Structure 1
Amino acid sequence: MDNEFTNINEIKTKIVNLTSNLNLPKGTEAFISDIHGNDDKYLNIIRSGAGNVSRKVEEVFNGRLTKLNQKKLVCLIYYPEEVLENINEKLTDTDDAKQWYMETINRLVEIVRYISGKYPRNIVYDALDSNLRDISEKIVFGNLDTQDKQQYYREMVKTLVNLQMGEEFIISICHAIQKLAIERIHIIGDVYDRGRHPESVIKQLSDTWQNFDFEWGNHDILWMGSLAGSKLCMLNVIRICARYHNLRLLEDVYGIDLTSMIKFATHAYVPIPNFESKVNITGETNEEKDIDNCVQQAAAIMQFKLEGQAIKRRPEFGMNDRLLLDKLSLDKKSVTIGDKTYPIKHGCFQTVNPANPYQITHSEQTVIIDLINQFTHSSQLNEHMWYMLDNGSMYLKHNGNLLFHGCIPVDEKGNFLKWQQDGHEYSGKSFCDYSEYVLKDGMRHPTTGDCYNSDFIWYLWEGKNSPLFGRDKMATFERYFIDDTELQKEHCNPFFKLCKEEWFADKLMKEFELNSRGHIINGHTPDADESPIMANKKIVVVNGLSEADDRNSEIGGYALLFDSYGMRLETLKSFTSRKKSIEEMSDVVIAKQIVERSSERITVKDTDYGQKIKKQIEKLTAMLQ
């Protein structure tokens, strides 16, 4: 730090700036989860600041603009490129066009100034487009107290429009508003699987945001585990991609050549009803549907075989109840589970050897080796998974709150379940730390062999005591082959029931060495019958990108905002498409619920970042002395 300064006044100036920053209002944090590759819906939430932008527009223009014009302005901020294209088609008169651009720029600048009032100048500066930064800085930071300054500002805006730079400037200001509406994004699990473009979410974060974090979900673990060399994780990834008609993600984005898998699958299997895709894609051909169906079957059967091998290798996993291939009848038309026999619905067990049901055939082995080598050597997959590893964790303690996806495994009485390995015992926080250690070790030392790291990473995906799964089983086999809804049920860990109790919330906070005045923000999918706010408002479940709630088709999940005034839960409107959102000018939020309101406005000095600033001030003060 000594080398940063050339004289004592520079140190004093730094102390003055840091001290003033401590008294600024706390920035807004947004908590969302379960993106599942739905990049358009994710961007709709992020561009809107999870509803924060429309709130700011209302605060600035209430009584000055009608509700309709406020909605138009909000829609422009969310999607400036698309809205401007529509506007330009309608504005055929030059004078009308100039008038619209000048009025719109003035309104947008007013919003930027309002939002940026709680940020240090350097943060606002970084949010501005670098190509227009000099002009933007003069307009945004300009002093309008005098008539001369106001005239100077008006001439700048007028000249921008006359030089036909209005469109470019509006787009840059809208993007700046989006960035300033949220200071930090917390993504509490499951960026991957189901949706078509998880890579777009990664790209948007890496290109646009500086303050964000991932709390990994079990679906993310599958992709990270595939890179670590887990064949089980890889087969699950392929099966889910085929189930959601998303094999192109593997081929086009991550460069995985699926020729060997498709050739084997279409030769060994024929399409059957229980392996039909979960989504309907416009323009999808019958050939593509058949490939998805057969690949899904092939991946599932290979998965069940390798699962059986892993379960037998690792008796400590306690998953013998998932050994089902050896429970098939000789004719493979029924399966015995417990003391009951169930008929098989559309079986596809032609590669299963009754004498050795968990044996991988030579043809299957050839496909698996080809694919796992491609996964571990994919440069793009390496880049994205390491990005998630470097910017993520099993849990996060931030500003007094505890963030994690899934659960902390407990018994019925709330006692943390114990995991024993190599003479050590882990539970609660230590088990989460251990899980993170094994995942990172597996990523740093990838191997395609049957090692403990690979097996444990797969266990995090579906193990009954996994902190990322939290259910007694992953009923994949039952959902595919057995027509019995009771057997298909996955019973949750007692954690989810105990989350209603305040004493349990306090116990969790104590286990993770946090003050009980904080909150637990959980990213797993909430039960349809449960309120997302529990334990006397100490536990909040956010699932911002879930499918529409069965009880109300308008509900599309939840997001949480934590700003200088406190916490509020946003009930999100169900999202159909970007095009429809623009046409209807629909807002993101349909309801708000206060979780906690601060009696005094929270400032930077009350945050983790504020603590770092205080330590920096202490060091600088010591230098002065």
Structure 2
Amino acid sequence: MRNKFTNVIENKNEIKSKIINLSATLNLPKGTEAFISDVHGGYDRFSHIMRSGAGNISKKVSEVFSGKLMPVNQMKLSCLIYYPSEVLKETKNKITDADELEQWYMDSFNNLIEMLRYVANKYPKSLVQKAIQPDFWDITENLLMIDTNFKDKRLYYQGLLSSIERLNMADDFIIAISHAIQRLAIERIHIVGDIYDRGSHPDLVINYLINHWQNFDIQWGNHDILWMGSMAGSKLCMLNLIRICARYDNLELLNDAYDIDMTSMIKLARHSYRPLPNFDPKVDLTGISEENRITDNCVQQAATIMQFKLEGQAIKRRPEFEMNDRLFLDKLSQDKKSIKIDGKDYPIDNGCFQLVNPGNPYQISHPEQVVLIDLINQFIHSSKLNEHMWFMYDHGSMYLKHNGNLLFHGCVPTDEQGNFVKWKIDGRNYLGKDLSDYFQIILRDAMRHPTTGDCFNSDVLWYLWCGKDSPLFGKDKMTTFERYFIDDEELQKETLNPFYKLCKKEWFADRVKDEFGIGEEGHIIVGHTPDADEENLPIMSKGKIIQVNGGRPKMEHNGGFTLLYDSYGMQLLKLKPFISLSTSLKDLNDVILKRKIVENSIERKVVMDTDRGDKIKQQIADLSAELND
């Protein structure tokens, strides 16, 4: 019979065992982090980057199989890991000889197990087990532990693999091991802003993160704020969102993904507007029907005019926003064919101001009001939109400090001299870190208390989208009106915040790091679409500031940049353009076009040097205290 003393001893031994395992974990190599940005709804491109470990898998395949496999076979193995289901189907269609197919399976088993063993070597067993489908854990654990240099073990190993094939488990096993390699190739994914807009499937990006990834974070971009703000009841965020959906032929996304019925808006738009060339969707028009083109065109006009009206009301309500230069409807000529800006008359190209009342240009008409009430209530009450937006909030932030680095999308609003711009609200100045913290508090309050009224929170969320001192926007103005209606490049110009020019100065990088409490060795990683190419990589201030993006959908011939941070240092990766899955499989396309070392550590970083290491040290301290009680 067990006694109390025996139970105490066993409990203490269990605590000691946990301390031993945690202490050992501190000495494992630091896991690889990947930084991507500007996904913009391009799910296929995003999935390709994620499946490839942002280029890390092909790198590891080369490390393991250099001298064992020809480069073309290394790339075939990489593609099998990226897209196991598709490669399996293609292979079984090509290889009709049974013996040849069996050999392919055995080779694939061996190569995948060797790859899994390699990527798993920096993780404790518990994390490796989480990455592998439960049905296959016992088999996989045995395969990973076997030393095939011994004949008996080699026969046991071959017997396991033969049984997997004989029992018709081969395909499922290959898929499970490939997915495990994908998960273990990258320890943490940082999405540095703008999951939403332009591309057709931001919802699938969110679903992918929910279902396939555990360790990630999101830094919101201004496009993300439009969707979060719409769920919180901001009609201005909603109108901008609808306008952009129509502009990129994505209106079906609202109904298909979020159950938002656009019928009332489409009826108003088709009744009140006729198609105009400046409102044609920004996609290949040969790929959409004439009916969809007309609907996109007219809905875009209807949303744009309502947007300008509500913007005018918000600007007048909030003089502290200092956006009077964005008031246009009251400057139209009597015939609405020209507009006076800064004392100069400009002709209006293809105007659509028939629902603008000259006597009260910012007044929403009754038909427009009916549509607004219908749509904003749908956005607030959409269960799927609520699920996705709260997921964005719970896993996101205005900025993040992680492993000594600072991550954010956009900028820290700054003047020409490098001083952080002050935003004065209720008699208090907010700037730098405090400004981002303040905006995050507003967003949280708005999402917890959604309202369709013209409240302060809703106005601030719209300001985050396009305000001149918004950390997420980073420009002096958003020239939507000018780009639609005025053929003048100077008026259409949007000037970047001085932050971007100052990023090249080391003293400024140090000032930003000090403001956010980042140490000397830390980096600032900015989600943005840099104006860079292979010869002009977006690495500034001697590597202290790095810009990344994942190649947004409209940049089909520019893959963008991403960043890898592993135990050896940092690499900036120039991505190849992603055309389609079929093209990638046919051409054996990898993700990476070019690599550039940003930082190379003399000593390999270990878990002890990371934020995760700090948490483990605290766990050890807590367990040690419990042991001594």
> Please, what TM-score do these two structures have when normalized by structure 2?
0.97
Higher mean C-alpha deviation, range 9-18 or range 380-389? 9-18
Write out aligned runs for 1:358-369 (5 A).
Answer: 358-369=362-373
**Could you tell me which residue of structure 1 aligns to residue 45 of structure 2?**
41
Distance 1:338 1:534 in 2: 37
Match for residue 536 of structure 1 among 533, 542, 549: 542
Does residue 299 of structure 2 align to residue 299 of structure 1? Answer: no
Match for residue 586 of structure 1 among 570, 584, 589: 589
**Could you tell me which residue of structure 1 aligns to residue 344 of structure 2?**
340
**Could you tell me which residue of structure 1 aligns to residue 527 of structure 2?**
523
Match for residue 619 of structure 2 among 594, 616, 621: 616
What whole-Å deviation, never above 9, does each CA across 1:309-344 have from its counterpart, x for those lacking one?
000000000000000111111100011111221111
Q: Cα RMSD (Å) of the superposition?
A: 1.5
Shift of residue 146, structure 1, vs aligned partner:
2.7
Does residue 206 of structure 2 align to residue 186 of structure 1? Answer: no
SS in 2 for 1:50: helix
Does residue 197 of structure 2 align to residue 200 of structure 1? Answer: no
Shift of residue 88, structure 1, vs aligned partner:
0.4
**Could you tell me which residue of structure 2 aligns to residue 27 of structure 1?**
31
**Could you tell me which residue of structure 2 aligns to residue 109 of structure 1?**
113
Native 8 Å contact 2:509 2:541 kept in 1: yes
Does residue 428 of structure 2 align to residue 424 of structure 1? Answer: yes
Match for residue 14 of structure 1 among 18, 40, 64: 18
Does residue 354 of structure 2 align to residue 354 of structure 1? Answer: no
SS in 2 for 1:593: strand
Distance 1:576 1:81 in 2: 19
Does residue 278 of structure 2 align to residue 274 of structure 1? Answer: yes
Native 8 Å contact 1:346 1:481 kept in 2: yes
Does residue 580 of structure 2 align to residue 577 of structure 1? Answer: yes
Go from structure 1 to structure 2 and tell me whether the alpha carbon gap of 1:187 and 1:577 turns closer, same or farther (over 3 Å shift): same
Partner AA of 1:563 in structure 2: D
Partner AA of 2:402 in structure 1: H
Partner AA of 2:500 in structure 1: F
Distance 1:454 1:173 in 2: 47
Native 8 Å contact 1:547 1:574 kept in 2: no
**Could you tell me which residue of structure 2 aligns to residue 565 of structure 1?**
568
What whole-Å deviation, never above 9, does each CA across 1:83-139 have from its counterpart, x for those lacking one?
111100112111111111011110010000011011111111111112322222222
What whole-Å deviation, never above 9, does each CA across 1:438-484 have from its counterpart, x for those lacking one?
00100001000000000000000000000000101101111100111
**Could you tell me which residue of structure 2 aligns to residue 170 of structure 1?**
174
Does residue 552 of structure 2 align to residue 546 of structure 1? Answer: yes
Partner AA of 1:605 in structure 2: M
Native 8 Å contact 2:310 2:362 kept in 1: yes
Go from structure 1 to structure 2 and tell me whether the alpha carbon gap of 1:192 and 1:116 turns closer, same or farther (over 3 Å shift): same
Question: Where do 5+ consecutive residues of structure 2 fail to align?
Answer: 1-6
**Could you tell me which residue of structure 2 aligns to residue 602 of structure 1?**
605
Partner AA of 1:436 in structure 2: Q
Question: Where do 5+ consecutive residues of structure 1 fail to align?
Answer: none
Does residue 93 of structure 2 align to residue 89 of structure 1? Answer: yes
Aligned length: 620
Native 8 Å contact 1:572 1:589 kept in 2: yes
**Could you tell me which residue of structure 2 aligns to residue 483 of structure 1?**
487
**Could you tell me which residue of structure 1 aligns to residue 3 of structure 2?**
none
What whole-Å deviation, never above 9, does each CA across 1:401-436 have from its counterpart, x for those lacking one?
000000000110111111111222210000000000
Higher mean C-alpha deviation, range 195-204 or range 528-537? 528-537
Go from structure 1 to structure 2 and tell me whether the alpha carbon gap of 1:4 and 1:259 turns closer, same or farther (over 3 Å shift): farther
Shift of residue 528, structure 1, vs aligned partner:
4.3
What whole-Å deviation, never above 9, does each CA across 1:23-80 have from its counterpart, x for those lacking one?
0000000000000000000011111111100011111110111111111111111111
Distance 2:114 2:87 in 1: 20
**Could you tell me which residue of structure 2 aligns to residue 379 of structure 1?**
383
Write out aligned runs for 1:63-462 (5 A).
Answer: 63-144=67-148, 146-280=150-284, 284-462=288-466
Partner AA of 1:325 in structure 2: L
SS in 1 for 2:45: helix
Native 8 Å contact 2:526 2:545 kept in 1: yes
Distance 1:388 1:580 in 2: 32
Partner AA of 1:324 in structure 2: F
Go from structure 1 to structure 2 and tell me whether the alpha carbon gap of 1:221 and 1:584 turns closer, same or farther (over 3 Å shift): same
Distance 1:547 1:516 in 2: 36
Distance 2:495 2:532 in 1: 14
Native 8 Å contact 2:248 2:283 kept in 1: yes
Distance 1:306 1:381 in 2: 23
